[in-house]
Amino acid sequence: MIIIGEKINGAIPVVAEAIKNRDAEFIKARALDQIQAGADYLDVCAGTAPEEEYDALCWLIDTVQEVAAKPICIDSPNPHMLVKVFPKLKEPGLINSISLEGDKCDVLLPLLKENPEWGVVALCCDQSGIANEADKKVKIAFELIEKAAEYGIEPGRIHIDPLVLALSAVNDSAVNFFEAIRQIKSKYPTVKVTAALSNISYGLPVRKLVNMNFLTLAIEAGLDSIIADPLNRDVIGAIFATEALLGRDHCCRKYSNAYRKGKIGPVKV
């Protein structure tokens, strides 16, 4: 499972305050904590007003790169902003994101063509918004993969996000998400499928229960990566346990090693 750490995002109030005050030590600590917990990528999103985003993103990129040995998943809703800050990035990572909205593909796919070591998060939404129906999610995913192929971008570089909707508002949200994963992986087995874990439980009590069970079912359906908090021991534990239950962990060695190293289970004091 590929883990994209979500904790450097200006939508989080304490991060927004750190960005405002240019508190580099806070951001560095947040980056290092996620790396130590096992993050494969660090999502970096300014979440500021548009006129402040460039300066904020540049500062965040420089700050994270001072301490991070892991690649950045550079995140902005504005594709032109992603192109503008791209030269600041020292190592290949992920661009977050393309979709069928606006000119995102036209702007970002040429950049990905020129930088073949980079990957991209591709959201299953178009001009009409986010689809709930599995067939619509799959149709958009296939179109994104085919558009990328026109630029020589192979499926293995793409992290498709079928975009799960809140279960409290859409009763069949999870079912449709799992079905979309299966159909996407059936046609494009090398493409990666990702999800923002906490979206499914928005508006519900005891969100952890919903999140953990959703994660288990999504992994069984073919989920490859998650955008989540790598310091959440329940998330990490669910990943190791599910992989073992699905026969992907010979004699539960990874699960047992994770316990011995203190990655899962009660915090050892």
DSSP secondary structure of 38-91? T-SEEEEE----HHHHHHHHHHHHHHHHHH--S-EEEE-S-HHHHHHHGGG--S
Domain chopping of the chain, boundaries: 1-91, 111-229, 232-269
User: Rounded CA gap, 28 and 148, in Å?
Assistant: 34
pLDDT of residue 25: 98
Question: What H or E segment, with its residue span, contains residue 119?
Answer: strand 119-123
CB within 8 Å of 236: residues ≥ 6 apart: 37, 38, 230, 258, 263, 264
Best CA proximity match to 66, nearest among 42, 85, 83, 39: 42
Place of tokens 């994963």: 181
Question: Is the model's pTM score more than 0.75?
Answer: yes
Domain 111-229 sits in CATH 3.50.50.60: no
Helix, coil or strand: residue 92: coil
Q: What is the pLDDT of residues 189-201, one digit of tens each?
A: 999 999 999 999 9
Distances (CA, A) of 107 to 8, 79, 148, 260: 25, 6, 12, 46
User: Rounded CA gap, 113 and 225, in Å?
Assistant: 23
Q: What is the pLDDT of residues 51-89, one digit of tens each?
A: 999 999 999 999 999 998 899 999 999 999 999 999 999
pLDDT of residue 98: 98
Helix, coil or strand: residue 115: coil
Distances (CA, A) of 186 to 107, 161, 193, 222, 268: 29, 16, 12, 10, 42
Structure tokens at 171: 């009763």
Q: What is the pLDDT of residues 208-253, one digit of tens each?
A: 999 999 999 999 999 999 999 999 999 999 999 999 999 999 999 9
Does the structure show a pLDDT above 90 at 4? yes
Q: What is the pLDDT of residues 115-168, one digit of tens each?
A: 999 999 999 999 999 999 999 999 999 999 999 999 999 999 999 999 999 999
